């Protein structure tokens, strides 16, 4: 049993006080370079690492941030985490991950477990299953918080989002340019600004080109895969769209399946464009054009904003950061 390597041990071995060691380790201006060097040398030699719990307790700084998101196994969120981690590492911060699985209750439970000083700040992309803005408007007062992608618009907090309206408009126009006259919209995230903006962009583009804009052309996302498939089938049969804009990735698979069943060919009979963040996009079926959000950059931006707040450098910072998505047109290369 070797002695534990803590600040006390260092002090004993060097015959100086604990306070001096602490200050030396923190590179305080009060300590002579000579003493600092002695401390640093021994610390390295004994492989000293400070006890985080002790320093948190005393200093109220955890060097930790939390990321609360619906799910990590998702092309968008895993890339966003990558961006967040990248920034956190630069600041020597640790990153906690929580998955809500779109469950508002879990979301609240997780978040509540974080406001007791476990973390210095939180990055979150809210669940779409319940609108509880009261909860969040309270929360932002208690802990530094940055929202990304899935946000509440009216909240007094930093929000990093993408140009959903504009890109949905562009995507719709792309379909129109491809000759589509009757374009359907597969509607997801309807309780969130992102979803609403995508719908609005679609509608606006239809309007600008004097195309039909009927509720019957819109299919809302449902938790049940069967229901989605059923609704898409009904859409295809009854409405016979010649173009489809899917506002979320989850609609793509049932879309292909239904079309195959009905002997409808994508993209000859129906042209399909979907929001998607597949990192291996080129591996996709080459007939799918996608709208891709800059997930990695969103993560970096959100984390960067949080650190600005943590370092009190957020004076006059813009609360609404909007990054640009990309419309990736894929031609069927036929391999």
Partner DNA sequence: CTGTTAGCGCTTTCAG
Partner DNA sequence: CTGAAAGCGCTAACAG
d(CA 226, CA 230): 6
Kindly state the tokens that stand for 182.
């009757």
Is residue 90 involved in binding a second copy (CB under 8 A)?
A: no
Asked if 265 is part of the footprint of a second copy (rule: CB under 8 A), the reply reads: yes
As beta bridge partners, residue 64 has 94
The answer to whether 37 contacts a second copy (rule: CB under 8 A) is no
12-20, 168-176, 272-280, 323-331 -> range binding a second copy (CB under 8 A): 272-280
Site for a second copy in 91-150 (CB under 8 A): 94-99, 112-113, 115-118
Question: Cβ distance 183 to 245 under 8 Å?
Answer: yes
Other Cβ atoms closer than 10 A to 50 = 13
Nearest-5° Cα angle at 81, 77 to 84: 135
CB 105 within 8 A of CB 127: no
Ranges within 57-116 binding DNA (CB under 7 A): 57-59
Question: Which strand (E) or helix (H) includes residue 243?
Answer: strand 243-246
1, 27, 34, 134: which one contacts DNA (CB under 7 A)? 34
By CB under 8 A, residue 217 contacts a second copy:
no
The answer to whether residues 201 and 168 touch, using CB atoms and an 8 Å cutoff, is yes
Counting contacts by CB under 8 A, is residue 256 touching a second copy?
yes
Query: Is 287 a residue that touches a second copy (CB under 8 A)?
Result: yes
Measured CA distances, 255 to 212, 214, 272 (Å): 21, 20, 9
The site partner of 31 among a second copy, DNA, none (C-beta below 5 to 8 Å per kind) is DNA
CB atoms within 10 A of CB 328: 16
With respect to a second copy, which residue has the nearer C-beta, 12 or 285? Answer: 285
For 246-257, give the DSSP string.
ESSGGGHHHHHH
Sole binder of DNA in the list 19, 216, 253, 317 (CB under 7 A): 19
51 is a site residue for DNA (CB under 7 A): yes
Residue 12 binding result from DNA, a second copy, none, given CB thresholds of 5 to 8 Å by partner type: none
Residue 112 or 320: the one with the smaller Cβ distance to a second copy is 112
41 binds, among DNA, a second copy, none (CB under 5 to 8 A by kind): none
Q: Exactly one of 18, 211, 227, 284 binds a second copy (CB under 8 A); which one?
A: 284
| Burial readout 89-114 (b: 16 or more C-beta within 10 A, e: otherwise) | eeeebebbebbbeeebebbbebbeeb
Going by their DSSP bridges, the two strands 289-292 and 326-328 should be labelled as: antiparallel
The residue count for binding DNA (CB under 7 A) is 28
Which position among 13, 16, 308, 323 is part of the footprint of DNA (CB under 7 A)? 16
Q: Is 44 in the site for DNA (CB under 7 A)?
A: no
Distance from C-alpha of 252 to C-alpha of 153, rounded to nearest angstrom: 28
Contact set with DNA (CB under 7 A): 4, 6-8, 15-20, 22-23, 25-26, 29-35, 50-51, 54-55, 57-59
Contact set with a second copy (CB under 8 A): 49-54, 56-57, 62, 64, 71-75, 77-79, 81-82, 85, 94-99, 112-113, 115-118, 249, 252-253, 256, 259-260, 265-266, 278-280, 282-288, 296, 333, 335
């Amino acid at each position: 049993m070797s002695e534990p390597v803590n600040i006390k041990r260092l002090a004993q071995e060097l015959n100086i006080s604990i306070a001096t060691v602490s200050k030396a380790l923190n590179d305080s201006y009060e300590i002579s370079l000579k003493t600092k060097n002695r401390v640093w040398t021994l610390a390295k030699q004994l492989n000293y690492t400070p006890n985080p719990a002790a320093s948190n307790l005393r200093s109220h700084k955890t060097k930790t941030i939390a990321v609360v998101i619906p799910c990590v196994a998702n092309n968008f969120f895993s890339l966003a985490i990558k961006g967040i981690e990248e920034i956190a590492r630069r600041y020597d911060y640790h990153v906690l991950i929580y998955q809500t699985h779109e469950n508002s209750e879990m979301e609240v439970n997780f978040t509540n477990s974080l406001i007791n000083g476990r973390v210095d700040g939180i990055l979150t992309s809210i669940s779409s299953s319940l609108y509880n803005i009261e909860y969040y408007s309270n929360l932002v007062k208690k802990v530094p918080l940055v929202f990304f992608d899935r946000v509440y618009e009216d909240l007094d907090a930093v929000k990093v989002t993408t140009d959903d309206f504009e890109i949905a408009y562009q995507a719709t126009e792309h379909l129109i340019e491809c000759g589509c006259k009757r374009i359907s919209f597969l509607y997801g995230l309807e309780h969130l600004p992102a979803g609403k903006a995508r719908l609005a962009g679609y509608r606006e583009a239809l309007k600008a080109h004097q195309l039909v804009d009927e509720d019957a052309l819109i299919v809302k996302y449902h938790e049940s895969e069967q229901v989605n498939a059923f609704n898409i089938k009904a859409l295809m049969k009854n409405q016979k769209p010649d173009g489809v804009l899917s506002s979320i990735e989850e609609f793509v698979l049932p879309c292909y399946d239904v079309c195959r069943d009905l002997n409808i060919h994508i993209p000859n009979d129906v042209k399909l464009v979907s929001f998607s963040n597949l990192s291996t996009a080129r591996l996709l079926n080459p007939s799918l054009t996608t709208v891709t959000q800059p997930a990695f950059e969103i993560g970096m931006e959100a984390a960067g904003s949080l650190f600005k707040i943590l370092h009190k450098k957020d004076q006059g910072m813009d609360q609404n950061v909007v990054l640009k998505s990309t419309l990736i047109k894929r031609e069927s290369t036929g391999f």
